[in-house]
Chain A
Amino acid sequence: MATFTVLAVVMVVGALGVVLLRQPVHAALALVGTLLALAVTYVTLEAHFLAAIQVIVYAGAIMVLFLFVLMLLNVQRSIGPQRSLPGLRWAAYATAVVLATAVALVAFWDGRPAPDPAVVSLHLQGGSAAGIADVLFGELLLAFHLVGVLLLTGVVGAVALVQRHDGSAHGAPKAGGPLPAPEGPVGSGRGRKRGALAGGRRS
Chain B
Amino acid sequence: MTGAWSDPVAWAALAPLFALAGALLVGLFGRRWPEPLPGVVASLAIAAAFVVAAVAAVGLLGRDAGVALTLWPFLPVAGLDVSVGVVVDPLAATFLLIITGVGLLIHVYSIDYMRDDDGNARYFALLNLFVASMLVLVLADSLVLLFVGWEGVGVCSYLLIGFWYRQRANADAGRKAFIVNRIGDAGFLLASFLVAATFGTLTIADANAQAGSFAFGAGVLTAIGLLFLLAAAGKSAQLPLHVWLPDAMAGPTPVSALIHAATMVTAGVYLVARLSPLYAQAPAASAAVAWVGALTALIAAVAALAQTDIKRILAYSTVSQLGFMFAAVGAGAYAAAVFHVFTHAFFKGLLFLAAGSVIHALHGEQDVRRMGGLGRRMRLTGSSALVGTLAIAGVPLLSGFFSKEAILGGVWNSTLVEDYGSRLLFALLLVTAGLTAFYMFRWYHRVFCGESRLARDVAAKVHESPGTMTAPLVVLAALAAVAGYLGLPAFAFPNWIKSWLAPSLASVGALHPPLWVEWLLVAASVVAAAAGLAAGWWIYERGRGALAERVGGGVMGRFARDGLGFDAAYRAGAVSTAEGLAAGLAVADRDLLDRGIAAGVTTASWLGRAVAAWQSGFVRLYALATLIGLTALAVVVAALGGRA
Contacts and interface: CB of A to CB of B under 8 A. Distances in A.
Query: Quick check: do A and B touch in the complex, using CB within 8 A?
Result: yes
Interface of A: 84-85, 88, 91-92, 95-96, 98-99, 102-103, 105-111
B624 interface: yes
B75 interface: no
A51 to B, nearest CB: 29
B642 A105 contact: yes
Interface residues of B, number: 15
Interface string B600-626: 000000000000000000101100100
A117 B432 CA distance: 127
Nearest to A98: B631
B616 to A, nearest CB: 9
B634 A103 contact: yes
29 contacts: A84-B618, A85-B618, A85-B620, A85-B621, A88-B620, A88-B621, A88-B624, A91-B628, A95-B624, A95-B628, A98-B634, A98-B635, A99-B630, A102-B631, A102-B635, A102-B637, A102-B638, A103-B638, A105-B638, A105-B642, A106-B634, A106-B637, A106-B642, A108-B642, A109-B638, A109-B642, A110-B642, A110-B643, A111-B642
Nearest to B642: A109
A106 B639 CA distance: 9
Given A85-B621, A102-B638, A109-B638, 8 more contacts: A85-B618, A91-B628, A95-B624, A99-B627, A99-B631, A103-B634, A106-B637, A106-B642
Nearest to B618: A85
Given A95-B628, A99-B634, A109 B620 contact: no
Interface of B: 618, 620-621, 624, 627-628, 630-631, 634-635, 637-638, 641-643
A96 B635 CA distance: 12
A95 B623 CA distance: 12
Contacts of A106: 634, 637-638, 642
A99 B631 CA distance: 5
Given A106-B642, A109-B642, A95 B627 contact: yes
Contacts of B627: 92, 95-96, 99
Given A84-B618, A98-B631, A99-B630, A91 B638 contact: no
7 A-B pairs with the lowest CB-CB distances in the bound complex, closest first: A109-B642, A102-B634, A99-B631, A102-B638, A105-B638, A106-B642, A102-B635
B25 to A, nearest CB: 81
Contacts of A111: 642
Contacts of B618: 84-85
B634 A95 contact: no
A92 to B, nearest CB: 7
Nearest to B643: A110
Contacts of A102: 631, 634-635, 637-638
Contacts of B641: 109
A109 B635 CA distance: 13
Contacts of B642: 105-111
A32 B630 CA distance: 27
Contacts of B628: 91, 95
Contacts of B624: 88, 91-92, 95
Contacts of B620: 85, 88
Contacts of A103: 634, 638
Contacts of A108: 642
Contacts of A107: 642
Nearest to B616: A85
Nearest to A103: B634
A90 B621 CA distance: 13
Contacts of A85: 618, 620-621
Nearest to B636: A102
B394 to A, nearest CB: 100
Contacts of B634: 98-99, 102-103, 106
A105 B639 CA distance: 9
Nearest to B623: A92
Nearest to A92: B624
Contacts of A110: 642-643
B543 to A, nearest CB: 101
Nearest to B639: A102
A102 B636 CA distance: 9
Nearest to A102: B634
